[in-house]
Each structure stands twice: as C-alpha cells, then as structure tokens.
Chains A and B, each alone.
Chain A
Amino acid sequence: GENVEQHPSTLSVQEGDSAVIKCTYSDSASNYFPWYKQELGKRPQLIIDIRSNVGEKKDQRIAVTLNKTAKHFSLHITETQPEDSAVYFCAASINSGYALNFGKGTSLLVTP
C-alpha cells in the first residue's frame, strides 16, 4: 500500500549473519504492525507482530522494533538459515482498525 514503504527490496546475506528490514508508515492512527513471510507459490504467513504500546518484541531468532514517534518499525532476523529465504512483508493497520496496508516486500536470500 502507498502508506507503507519497505526497504530494501532485495537482501542477500550469508548463513549465520543477521538481516534487517525496515518499514515506515504515514498514518499516525496505525496501532498494529505485523510481519509476514511468503515462500514461493505459498500464502503469506504471520511470523510476528507488534502493537503500538510496545517498543520491541522478540520470538526466538526474530525481533521487531517500533518507533511510533518516527513512524518506523523494523524486522530483525539473527543467525539466519537458508530456510529463512523468502519474501517478507511489513504491514500497518489502516487507522486503528483491522484492515492492513502492506509494504511491497523484501526478497531475502540466505546463502550457505
């Protein structure tokens, strides 16, 4: 969606390295920020999300940070593995509702 910008569009890292994907949003009423992973030919799957009252959330090798003042949030993947290779999408709620605007995606390639 036009209100969510995502960078970079492609990212290549070596196995074991960290990967960071960044997103910015424009709607100051947005209060929910999920991240999705989509493997080739498959449906997007929710991997982690964060709400506006939290600055950081971690789940094993994946973490998300949110800076509401600057209107940006980031996905951090540590100790990357080849199976992390996929397209990752960030999203932000439209106003404070339940529908989502998505970024255009980041194609992550983890090379052994």
Chain B
Amino acid sequence: NAGVTQTPKFRVLKTGQSMTLLCAQDMNHEYMYWYRQDPGMGLRLIHYSVGEGTTAKGEVPDGYNVSRLKKQNFLLGLESAAPSQTSVYFCASSSILDRGAFFGPGTRLTVL
C-alpha cells in the first residue's frame, strides 16, 4: 500500500516550457487535490476533483490545468511555465468516510 505517490520528485523548467505532474493513490479515495506550498504562504489549493471525470478550481488555478481520467490518478499540467510557478507541489487524497487528507511526498519545481 503505497498511499499517495507523486512523479517526478524534482524538476527544473525554463520559462515557457510545459510539463505534467502525476499523482497516484491506491486507497480508492474519491477526492483528490493539488496544492502548492510557498514560504510563508501555507498550502494553497490549485484544483481539486470530487470524482473521476470531474474537476473544480481552487484558490489559485490560473496557469494550471488538471485531469482525472481514472479514479486513482490526478494530473496537474503547466502549459507555459512561469517563474511564479516555482514552488513545491503537493497532491492529496481523501475518502468520503474519513475526511482527513493524505498527502504525497511533493514535487519541487523550479522555473528559470
């Protein structure tokens, strides 16, 4: 039981490049989330999903897109990376019964 995993762990991009962050969970959780963490800013919600095929915007969605084609996977895309998107990205998941969110190990992204 791996819990929540994220790929990749680290990435360096140049401004304007695109990339996709992958989140996978093996706990059969219905809900999945993408957060970004910046120093002094806490965790800010980017997008979330309440089920396969559904997504919703969070607090800071601009510049990101998401997809949830399978229940266990939640993808975060950056179409044209900007230095302001330099951050640590955490994926999380939770179940209907137990609302506590389980976090993945994070992806450290640097945009030059």
Q: Is the CB of B48 within 8 A of A99?
A: yes
Given A98-B50, A98-B94, A101-B59, A44:B45 Cβ within 8 A: no
* Residue A100 is within 8 A (CB to CB) of chain B in the complex: yes
A98 in complex: contacting residue of B31, B43, B59, B104, CB < 8 Å: B31
How many residues from B make CB contacts under 8 Å with A? 25
A34 in complex: contacting residue of B45, B59, B99, B104, CB < 8 Å: B99
Q: Is the CB of B44 within 8 A of A34?
A: no
Instruction: Give Cα A65 to B103, complex, Å.
Output: 24
Q: Is the CB of B45 within 8 A of A101?
A: yes
Q: Is the CB of B99 within 8 A of A102?
A: no
Q: Is the CB of B103 within 8 A of A44?
A: yes
Instruction: Give Cα A89 to B102, complex, Å.
Output: 14
Instruction: Give Cα A101 to B94, complex, Å.
Output: 14
Give A80 Cβ to nearest chain B Cβ, in Å: 22
A1 in complex: contacting residue of B48, B59, B94, B106, CB < 8 Å: B59
* Interface residues of chain B: helix, strand, loop or mixed (majority): strand
Instruction: Give Cα A1 to B41, complex, Å.
Output: 8
Give A75 Cβ to nearest chain B Cβ, in Å: 15
Give B76 Cβ to nearest chain A Cβ, in Å: 15
* Residue B74 is within 8 A (CB to CB) of chain A in the complex: no
Give B40 Cβ to nearest chain A Cβ, in Å: 6
Please name the residue on chain A nearest to B93 by beta carbon: A98
Q: Is the CB of B100 within 8 A of A46?
A: yes
For residues 63 through 106 of chain A, which have their beta carbon under 8 Å from a beta carbon of chain B?
89, 91, 93-94, 97-105
Q: Is the CB of A43 within 8 A of B94?
A: no
Chain A positions within 8 Å of B, measured between CB atoms, are 1-2, 6, 32, 34, 42-46, 49, 89, 91, 93-94, 97-105
Chain B positions within 8 Å of A, measured between CB atoms, are 31, 33, 35, 40-45, 48, 50, 56, 58-59, 90, 94, 96, 99-106
Enumerate the 5 nearest inter-chain pairs by beta-carbon distance, A residue then B residue, closest first: A104-B42, A102-B43, A43-B103, A46-B100, A102-B42
